[in-house]
Amino acid sequence: MSGFLLHDYVLTFEIADPARGEGLRDLCKSELEGDEITSTTWEISTRLSPHELERKLESFLAEGDRAAYYYLTDTKRLFRVDLI
C-alpha cells in the first residue's frame, strides 16, 4: 500500500470571464488530472483535501461566478460544497 489517499470529486463551475474559465479547465486537465465530462464539469481524483481544493479554486472565482463540487468519501457518502 502506497500510503497516499486519493480524494474523488465531481467539480462543476460557471465562470463569466473566458480567460479565468480556461485557466480552471487547464488546472483540471493538468495538475488535477481530471476527466472532462463537459467543458465545465470534471471528474477529479487527487491527493488534495477538500480544503486544499477549495483554496486552488478560489483564485479562479470572482463576483457572480459559481462553482460546486461533490465529494465522495471513503464511506460512500456524497457531500456537495458550493463556492460562490
Closest CA to 9 of 36, 55, 43: 43
Q: What is the grid cell recorded at 45?
A: 481524483
**Quick one: three-class SS letters along the chain?**
CCCCCCEEEEEEEECCCHHHHHHHHHHHHCCCCCEEEECCEEEEEECCCHHHHHHHHHCCCCCCCEEEEEEECCCCCEEEEEEC
Domain ranges of the chain: 7-73
Quick: pLDDT tens for 40-50.
999 999 999 88
pLDDT per residue as tens digits for the range 13-35: 999 999 999 999 999 999 999 99
| Model pTM score | 0.83
Share of the chain above pLDDT 90, in %: 69
pLDDT of residue 71: 86
Question: Between 3.40.50.10490, 3.20.20.70, 3.40.50.620, 3.30.70.240, what CATH number should domain 7-73 receive?
Answer: 3.30.70.240
d(CA 11, CA 80): 10
